[in-house]
Structure 1
Amino acid sequence: MRQANVVFEAFEEARLRAPHLECRALAELLGCSEGEIQASRLGRGVHSLTLTPCDLVMMLPQLGQVRMVTRTAHAALSSRLGDCRIDADQRHASIRDHQALAMQLLLPCWYWVCLSREAPAPGAEPAPCLQVFDRFGRVLHQLYGLTPEATGWKLLEYFAGLKTPGFTHCIDIANDCTDNHRPALLKTWRAMRDTGDFSRLLSRHRLRRIDANRAVAGHFSTPLPPQRFIMALAGACRRTQPTRASLIHGGGAHHHRVRFHHFHQGRQDTLQLESDHLTLSLDSSALQEVWQVVRPGPEGLTTSLEAFDASGEMMLALDLAEGS
């Protein structure tokens, strides 16, 4: 409890002295997770939700229009949701809409969900907000209410409580593919037919996405300079066909296919692509490796550019197919 009070006091001090400072940046300065910061605010503007992840997902249509942000450490994909189709069970959820949005959520990764009011952007008015954290205190998703008068937000208050989450620390262990195992990996890769096959490939061979890309270099992947990914982001605004952007992490995948209209570089090396329904942001200073990857899919071979940070975490992917 003493540690939570210290974190809360640091949060309040930062909010007064540097209101533009994002929670993620504050967490890095304090050496804690964003989840620990939000947990320190329990009862002071933040509440735990007692709903199961499946029940919460099925309530999304009652929240009206929302902006759903999927995050990694150095990138974010923000989609505007209105009418959408939702399918869910206790382990998986799928969200699709007519604007070419497709999300696949792994609900067992939803360790803690809190309800609060947050500013969706620096200087913006606070809005009802749901934040989803994994057991390491990392933000998986954020949902901001664009129509706060929707009945669902009031209903969520009945499931609000003060249960304190117990976060743990994450230890990443890389598992490189050896020369002896590479033939089996290549054989499995050639046999893939959809994204589910690729997930099973990673699990079977106990590889991270970046490890698999490195292992099939010269066959299905090619390393590229990081600048190539930045050029692809800028070029997305000039394409006549929509670009499919994907953000994939341990909690699932967020895909959205749109025609982007605006590209600009913000403060602190932040690159941003915008459309009417999607905003994509990426910290270019964290960009370490870029791979051009070919995978079999339901409609044939697909080619994408995948960006990774220094820890090997995937930041973002762009589909290079003109017809995608």
Structure 2
Amino acid sequence: MRTVQSIRDFRKASGKRQRDMAAELGLSEAAFVAAHIGAALDVPGDYAASPITAHPDEVMPLLPDLGEVMTLTRNGSCVHERVGRFGTYKAGSHAAMVLGREIDTRIFPKYWAYGFAVTELRPEGPRRSLQFYDLYGEALQKIYLLAQSQLAAWQPLVDRLRLPDPATELAPLPLPAPEGPKGDPAKRPALIAGWQEMTDTHQFNRLTHRLGMNRLGAYRMAGHPFVRAVDPASVGGWLRDLSMAGQKVIFFVGNRGHIQIHWGAIRTVRPLGPWLNVLDERFNLHLRGDHIAECYVVEKPTRRGLAVSLEAFDAAGELIFQCFGERESDSDDLAQWHHLLDALPSCSAEAAE
């Protein structure tokens, strides 16, 4: 069993990203951070964590005090980073949200289990963050202070959220196996009938739940005219084409407890190895293109017309991202968005499976 000191020593010697170090040690990321509770902050390279409440109802209303920050949400294949100010928080027992043009998130509170205020001493100065993890010790959201953040608000906020009796060892639940695609060919007529009757994209989850399916299972079954499987290798070119066209999008990346949304154009696309990177001033995206096993253009009827998205899944059937076109105005028919999706090469259902 790893001792607290051995974990701290490994972090100092490694220099790798926190998530990668935790995996190398066979720890959840939350357990890795918890090993640094109470650590000293004396010299560059030191790293210390303080346990704080993780409940969104207590955390989110305080975050506007920090001013402009960078908020990060990721899953195993995609990292979504957005600079902005936290705005209106709307609580909800099942789903909560932060609303704003720059920071726009959806929160599922039942998964929020562990929270930490983290300070890392770097040669250029302290790096401060709030980090939140789920029941399994996987990262949900990280919020980093920037040079322009309201530093004076940091310590009062941490003091208000701080938990008593800190422990340096956590025992998150074992990570569950991926669900994989769930569908039932016998229920395809009911799926199609319900799909045709939708007036809002949020009704899709209720439809699949009622039929005992999930998103990927439904997409594999639905077929024309609602779903078209496209070549996963085409996503890199699609990002480049989005950039060149100046097409505004609504780009969702999430995990089981948190979804983060980017609104606006994507300007600077720079592939590097397996990573497809968007490196804009206030929005960064880091996508493992080689993790995309299945990709679909999906049409869902709404009161405003068809909502058409591109959605990517990994080999385990987990959703990597969703992307919709953003309307410039009520009269925007999203013709350019549809053209960009129509240009994606199709692949057969057999290839997708």
Task: Please tell me the TM-score bracket, short chain as reference.
Answer: 0.7 to 0.9
Aligned equivalent of 1:41: 36
What code does the residue aligned with 1:189 have? W
Q: Establish whether residue 280 from structure 1 lines up as the match of residue 285 from structure 2.
A: yes
Long gaps (5+) in structure 1 = none
Q: Separation in 2 of the partners of 1:118 and 1:300?
A: 49
Output aligned runs, 1:1-324, within 5 Å: 3-5=1-3, 9-10=6-7, 12-16=9-13, 18-19=14-15, 21-44=16-39, 45-50=48-53, 52-82=55-85, 84-99=87-102, 101-118=103-120, 126-146=126-146, 147=149, 149-161=151-163, 162-163=166-167, 165-169=170-174, 170-174=176-180, 176-266=182-272, 268-320=273-325, 323=328
Q: Kindly state the Cα deviation for residue 126 of structure 1 after the two structures are TM-superposed.
A: 4.2
> Which string of whole-angstrom CA distances, capped at 9 and with x for unpartnered residues, describes residues 185-244 of structure 1?
222222222232122223323433222211212341111111221111111211233122
Helix, strand or coil for the counterpart of 1:176? coil
What code does the residue aligned with 1:78 have? E
Helix, strand or coil for the counterpart of 2:171? coil
> Which string of whole-angstrom CA distances, capped at 9 and with x for unpartnered residues, describes residues 95-122 of structure 1?
22244x5322111111111111258xx9
CA contact (8 A) 1:62 1:150 kept: no
> Which string of whole-angstrom CA distances, capped at 9 and with x for unpartnered residues, describes residues 240-280 of structure 1?
331221113321422211122211123x4221113332111
> Which string of whole-angstrom CA distances, capped at 9 and with x for unpartnered residues, describes residues 127-164 of structure 1?
22111111111111111112151414433134323155
What code does the residue aligned with 2:226 have? F
CA contact (8 A) 1:77 1:254 kept: yes
Superposed CA RMSD in Å reads 2.5
> Which string of whole-angstrom CA distances, capped at 9 and with x for unpartnered residues, describes residues 10-53 of structure 1?
4532432x31x112222332333212211222222112113632
CA contact (8 A) 2:117 2:129 kept: yes
Evaluate the alpha carbon distance shift between residue 209 and residue 126 of structure 1 in structure 2; reply closer, same or farther with a 3 A threshold: farther
Q: TM-score of the superposition, structure 2-length normalised?
A: 0.81
Stretch deviating more after TM superposition (300-309 or 207-216):
207-216
Q: Separation in 1 of the partners of 2:271 and 2:120?
A: 24
Q: Kindly state the Cα deviation for residue 173 of structure 1 after the two structures are TM-superposed.
A: 3.2
Helix, strand or coil for the counterpart of 1:195? coil
Q: Separation in 1 of the partners of 2:308 and 2:59?
A: 35
Helix, strand or coil for the counterpart of 1:315? strand
Helix, strand or coil for the counterpart of 2:186? coil
CA contact (8 A) 1:70 1:247 kept: yes
Q: Separation in 2 of the partners of 1:201 and 1:252?
A: 22
Evaluate the alpha carbon distance shift between residue 87 and residue 24 of structure 1 in structure 2; reply closer, same or farther with a 3 A threshold: same
Q: Kindly state the Cα deviation for residue 318 of structure 1 after the two structures are TM-superposed.
A: 2.2
CA contact (8 A) 2:97 2:104 kept: yes
Helix, strand or coil for the counterpart of 1:319? strand
> Which string of whole-angstrom CA distances, capped at 9 and with x for unpartnered residues, describes residues 162-195 of structure 1?
1554311112333521211111122222222223
Q: Separation in 2 of the partners of 1:298 and 1:305?
A: 20
Q: Kindly state the Cα deviation for residue 123 of structure 1 after the two structures are TM-superposed.
A: 8.8
Evaluate the alpha carbon distance shift between residue 241 and residue 94 of structure 1 in structure 2; reply closer, same or farther with a 3 A threshold: same
Evaluate the alpha carbon distance shift between residue 160 and residue 290 of structure 1 in structure 2; reply closer, same or farther with a 3 A threshold: same
CA contact (8 A) 2:55 2:109 kept: no
CA contact (8 A) 1:137 1:168 kept: yes
Q: Kindly state the Cα deviation for residue 124 of structure 1 after the two structures are TM-superposed.
A: 7.2
Evaluate the alpha carbon distance shift between residue 172 and residue 240 of structure 1 in structure 2; reply closer, same or farther with a 3 A threshold: closer
CA contact (8 A) 1:174 1:207 kept: no
What code does the residue aligned with 1:201 have? L
Helix, strand or coil for the counterpart of 1:229? helix
Evaluate the alpha carbon distance shift between residue 263 and residue 186 of structure 1 in structure 2; reply closer, same or farther with a 3 A threshold: same
Stretch deviating more after TM superposition (295-304 or 307-316):
295-304
